[in-house]
Structure 1
Amino acid sequence: MLAVGVGARAGTSAGDLATAVQGALAEAGVEVLDGTVLATLDRRAAEPGVQELARERGWRLVAFTAAELAAQPVPGAPSDVVAAAVGTPSVAEAAALLAAGAGGELVLPKRVYGGVTVAIARG
């Protein structure tokens, strides 16, 4: 199972999200698997661009609260800016790891593509 975690500003278009996700998949050298999920902060999951990306890719959209994301240990450096903005210091990495489930491992730590942060985990 592959989990793609994304973090982005409100109003980010599906096109910008898709470009970032495609860049991350290429960088990680992984292929999309059946059962791939798109994971993010609950309020971003309500965004039209995020919903459109999940629908276009045929991926299940998984949302986590800021508290759930904040409780997930991540290897990357936490972001005080993100924590101040959304209540958790990690969105993409934490969401990917949570969605991947117990024993999930990052295959691509957070990367920023055009203002969209993406991380990929395998469960």
Structure 2
Amino acid sequence: MKGPLVVGLGSARGVSSGAVRALLRRIYDGHDLDPRLVCAYASIDRRAAEPGLLAAIAPASLRTFPAARLDAVAVPHPSERARAAAGTGSVAEAAALLAAAEVAAGDWARVALIVPKTAGDRVTAAVARIRPPHRM
């Protein structure tokens, strides 16, 4: 199934762009995903200016959300470690789903998490797909 992809990213402060790129390559290759279909990247607002994240996804921009908005998103793999560190049970999965829903004009029924939280070196990523609107 084709459709736009949204990548959610969580990271430690000071993550390297190489670590982010390596994880993204592993996810794209391991799940047979075309990185050209990525229409958005998202994370928590405290990573809005994180140099390693921004360099890895350039020239794309990073959508960000406050911890409270991310914490309100139901995810399959919440983490108490993430909650303790970031104030939300999920960054990567929740950011991917929330940004995908925004891109889909709020139509959560069109959004599906297709790659669960995957860990790299000081970075996590998850991927959501936006299905085309239902046609009658």
Bigger radius of gyration among the two: 2
| 2:62 maps to 1:61 | yes
TM-score (ref. length: structure 1) = 0.90
Give distance in 1, aligned partners of 2:37 and 2:80.
Answer: 35
SS in 2 for 1:120: strand
Aligned position for 1:122: 129
CA contact (8 A) 1:39 1:61 kept: yes
Unaligned stretches of 5+ in structure 1? none
CA contact (8 A) 2:6 2:39 kept: yes
Q: Report the identity percentage.
A: 41
Match of 1:37 among 35, 40, 56: 40
Q: How many correspondences in the alignment?
A: 120
1:84 Cα deviation (Å)?
A: 0.8
Unaligned stretches of 5+ in structure 2? 102-107, 131-136
Give distance in 1, aligned partners of 2:65 and 2:35.
Answer: 22
CA contact (8 A) 2:48 2:62 kept: yes
SS in 1 for 2:35: coil
Residues 11-68 of structure 1: CA distance to partner in whole angstroms, max 9, x if unpaired?
001111111111111122110235521111111121111111221xx32311111011
Give distance in 2, aligned partners of 1:111 and 1:34.
Answer: 19
Match of 2:116 among 109, 116, 122: 109
CA contact (8 A) 1:23 1:113 kept: no
Match of 2:22 among 19, 22, 31: 19
CA contact (8 A) 1:35 1:59 kept: no
RMSD of aligned alpha carbons: 1.4
